[in-house]
C-alpha cells in the first residue's frame, strides 16, 4: 500500500486503524506537503453502487462542515475501484483510547469534553447533517487537548446501502450508543445525537456504558425498554446537577431530551460555571418504579423482531406497572391540589415580587449580572440577527418591567450575529463559473483585476475556501488570464506535475464503469 498513490497526490505512509468500513492510513499530501488521514473503503463496499452514491453525497456534506471541533474532509475519489476519503490528520488519541488508559474521568473534565462535542454536533445539525454514530471511537483529542468529532454522515451511508452490507457482515453503527428511535427503526433527528452523546458522557464518568448485553439486539432492547441506573450510584463524584444533565439526554422520549445540542452545551457550561442547570434532578425511585416510568414514557413502540432470545420482564411485574404509574399520577395531583389550597388561603403568600430589569441591548454577561442582582435567573437562547451585534440581548421574556416572583426564570434571546455560510471551493474555475457559484452560496463577488476576462482562471479567494463568512459579504477572487501559464493554486508548495484529484463538487454522480 505504501507504494500506491491515491489520486496522483496522497501516498500512504503508515497504517493507523481498521474501522467498520475502511482501512485508515497516515498519508502525505504531495501537493500541499502535509500529513492527512486517508480512509480506503473495503472492496465489497466499493462494489455497491447505492453505497458509493450515498457515500459521495455524505462526503460532500461533511466537506462543508468547517468547525474547530469537526475533523475536516479535504477530498474524495476513486483509485483502481477503491473509493477513498481524505481527512484532516489529528495526532492524538480517541476517547476510547482515553477510557482504556485512564478509566472513568472526573465530571468536570467530561463536561468540558461534552461541551465541545455538543458544539460540533450543533454546527452540523444547523447545516442539516445528523451524525448518527456518536461514540468514543469517533471523538479524537488533538495534542493541545481540542476535541475533534469525525465520521459525520458515514453511518447513514452504510444504513442506506441495503442488503449487501448486511451480507458482508459490515458493522453499521454501534448498538451501545443507539437512541431508542434508532433501535426501534423510528425517525432519526438531532435529538438522536443528543441521546448518543448522553451515553458517551455516562460512559466517561462511570467507566462503562449504561447498557450492555450479549448481542446488539439485547442492548437495543434495553435502550427502548429499560431505564439507566443513575451514574452517581457507580461514581460518587457525580453531582446531582451533572447527573441531571446526563439523564435528560438519556430520556426515552425525544421530546423530554434537550431540544438541541446547543441547549445541552449551554447546560454543561452552566455546570462548569457553578450555575443552576436547566435539567431537573433525578428522582430516587425504586427499581420497579423506574422501569415502569421508562416503559410509560416510551409508550407502545417496540424493537423489530429478532431471532436471538431476549427475555422480557416477568408478567406479574408488567401487570403492576400501570398501577404504579397511576399511584404516581394521583400523588402528583394531590400535591398540586394542596399547593393551590395553600395559596388560596393566603398561607405563605408573602413571596416577594420584582420587576424584570431592562436588559435589551446590553451584552449578555451584563444582562445576566443584572438579573442575578435582581434575584432572577437567566436562560440564554442564541438566535441569528444581522442587525444586532453578536453577544447582545435582542429581547427578554418576560418583558422588561414585568412583575415576577423572586427566583423566576427570564429567557434572554441573544444575537449570535448574522447568518454565515461556507465559502465554496472555486480555485481553478473560470471567473464566470466561480462568480455564479459564490453568488448561489449567498455571497457578493469582487474580481481582481476588475476587468478580468470571464474565462480567466481563479487562483485564490479571500476569504479562502472552506472559511465561514457572513452571508451577503464580499468574496474577493483573484483571476489569471487564460493565456497565462500559472502554477496550480496552493498556499505552501509548488504543485507537482501529476494530475490532482477532482474537488468534491465535480465528482461523478455514480462510480465509473470497472475496467475489463
Active site residues: 133
Side-chain-side CA neighbours of residue 417 (13 Å): 9
Instruction: Return d(Cα 283, Cα 289) in angstroms, integer.
Output: 10
Which of 373, 385, 387, 376 minimizes the C-alpha distance to 414? 385
| Displacement of CA 130 from its chain's centroid (Å) | 7
Please give the order of strands across the beta sheet that includes 409-415.
377-383, 409-415, 393-397
Please give the full DSSP string across 216-256, using - where no structure is assigned.
Answer: HHHHHHHHHH-PPPPGGGT-TT--HHHHHHHHHHT-SSGGG
Q: How far are the Cα atoms of 96, 229, 494 from residue 235, in angstroms, in the given order? A: 19, 11, 55
Instruction: Return d(Cα 290, Cα 324) in angstroms, integer.
Output: 10
In sequence order, which ranges of 170-314 are alpha helices (DSSP H)?
A: 180-183, 190-206, 216-225, 240-249, 261-272, 287-298
Given a contact cutoff of 8 angstroms between Cβ atoms, the answer to whether 201 and 114 are in contact is yes
- Burial track 431-455 (b if 16+ CB lie within 10 A, e otherwise): beebbebbeebebebebeeeebbee
Cell triple for 195? 441521546
Q: How many helices (H) and strands (E) does the chain have?
A: 15, 17
Q: How far are the Cα atoms of 13, 112, 269, 419, 502 from residue 116, in angstroms, in the given order? A: 30, 7, 10, 21, 32
Instruction: Return d(Cα 266, Cα 261) in angstroms, integer.
Output: 9
Cell triple for 390? 453578536
Cell triple for 114? 461534552
Cell triple for 61? 456534506
Cell triple for 204? 466517561
CA angle 485, 489, 493 (to 5 degrees): 105
Sign of CA dihedral 190, 192, 197, 202: positive
* Residues 6+ positions from 67 with CB-CB distance below 8 Å: 119, 120, 123, 124
Q: How far are the Cα atoms of 278, 422, 480 from residue 447, in angstroms, in the given order? A: 49, 19, 11
DSSP H or E run through 85: strand 82-88
Instruction: Return d(Cα 514, Cα 75) in angstroms, integer.
Output: 21
Amino acid at each position: 500500500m505504501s507504494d500506491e498513490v491515491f489520486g496522483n497526490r496522497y501516498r500512504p505512509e503508515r497504517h493507523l486503524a481498521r474501522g467498520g468500513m475502511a482501512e485508515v492510513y497516515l498519508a502525505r499530501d504531495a501537493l500541499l506537503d502535509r500529513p492527512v488521514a486517508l480512509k480506503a473503503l473495503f472492496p465489497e463496499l466499493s462494489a455497491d453502487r447505492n453505497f458509493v452514491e450515498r457515500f459521495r453525497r455524505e462526503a460532500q456534506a461533511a466537506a462543508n462542515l468547517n468547525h474547530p471541533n469537526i475533523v475536516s474532509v479535504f477530498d474524495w475519489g476513486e483509485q483502481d475501484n477503491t473509493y477513498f476519503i481524505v481527512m484532516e490528520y489529528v495526532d492524538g488519541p480517541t476517547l476510547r483510547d482515553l477510557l482504556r488508559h485512564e478509566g472513568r474521568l472526573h465530571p468536570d473534565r467530561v463536561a468540558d469534553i461534552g461541551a465541545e462535542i455538543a458544539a460540533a454536533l450543533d454546527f452540523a445539525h444547523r447545516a442539516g447533517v445528523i451524525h448518527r454514530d456518536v461514540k468514543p471511537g469517533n471523538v479524537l483529542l488533538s495534542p493541545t487537548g481540542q476535541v475533534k468529532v469525525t465520521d459525520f454522515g458515514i453511518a447513514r451511508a452504510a444504513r442506506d446501502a441495503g442488503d449487501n452490507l448486511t451480507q458482508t457482515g459490515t458493522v453499521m453503527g454501534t448498538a451501545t450508543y443507539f437512541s431508542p428511535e434508532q433501535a426501534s427503526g423510528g425517525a432519526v433527528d438531532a435529538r438522536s445525537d443528543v441521546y448518543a452523546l448522553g451515553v458517551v458522557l455516562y460512559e466517561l464518568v462511570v467507566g462503562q456504558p449504561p447498557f450492555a448485553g450479549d448481542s446488539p439486539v439485547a442492548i437495543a432492547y434495553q435502550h427502548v425498554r429499560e431505564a439507566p441506573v443513575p451514574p452517581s450510584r457507580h461514581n460518587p463524584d457525580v453531582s446531582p446537577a451533572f447527573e441531571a444533565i446526563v439523564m435528560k439526554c438519556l430520556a426515552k422520549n425525544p421530546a423530554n431530551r434537550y431540544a438541541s445540542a446547543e441547549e445541552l452545551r449551554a447546560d454543561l457550561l452552566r455546570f462548569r460555571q457553578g450555575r443552576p442547570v436547566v435539567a431537573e434532578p433525578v428522582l430516587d425511585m425504586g427499581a420497579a418504579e423506574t422501569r415502569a416510568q421508562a416503559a410509560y414514557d416510551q409508550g407502545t413502540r417496540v424493537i423489530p423482531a429478532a431471532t436471538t432470545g431476549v427475555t422480557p420482564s416477568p408478567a406479574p411485574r408488567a401487570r403492576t406497572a400501570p398501577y404504579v404509574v397511576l399511584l404516581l399520577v394521583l400523588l402528583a395531583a394531590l400535591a398540586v391540589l394542596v399547593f393551590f389550597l395553600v395559596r388560596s388561603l393566603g398561607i405563605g403568600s408573602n413571596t416577594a415580587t420584582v420587576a424584570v430589569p431592562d436588559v435589551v441591548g446590553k451584552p449578555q454577561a451584563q444582562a445576566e449580572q443584572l438579573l442575578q442582582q435582581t434575584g432572577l435567573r437567566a436562560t440564554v437562547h442564541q438566535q441569528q440577527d444581522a442587525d444586532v451585534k453578536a453577544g447582545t440581548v435582542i429581547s427578554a421574556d418576560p418583558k422588561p418591567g414585568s412583575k415576577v416572583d423572586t427566583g423566576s426564570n427570564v429567557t434572554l434571546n441573544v444575537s449570535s450575529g448574522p447568518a454565515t455560510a461556507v465559502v465554496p471551493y472555486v480555485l481553478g474555475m473560470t471567473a464566470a463559473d466561480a462568480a455564479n457559484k459564490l453568488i448561489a452560496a449567498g455571497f457578493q463577488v469582487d474580481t481582481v483585476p476588475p476587468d478580468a476576462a470571464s474565462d480567466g482562471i481563479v487562483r485564490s479567494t479571500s476569504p479562502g475556501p472552506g472559511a465561514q463568512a457572513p452571508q451577503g459579504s464580499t468574496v474577493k477572487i483573484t483571476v489569471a488570464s487564460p493565456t497565462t501559464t500559472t502554477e496550480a493554486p496552493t498556499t505552501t508548495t509548488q504543485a507537482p506535475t501529476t494530475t490532482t484529484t477532482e474537488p468534491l463538487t465535480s465528482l461523478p454522480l455514480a462510480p465509473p464503469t470497472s475496467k475489463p
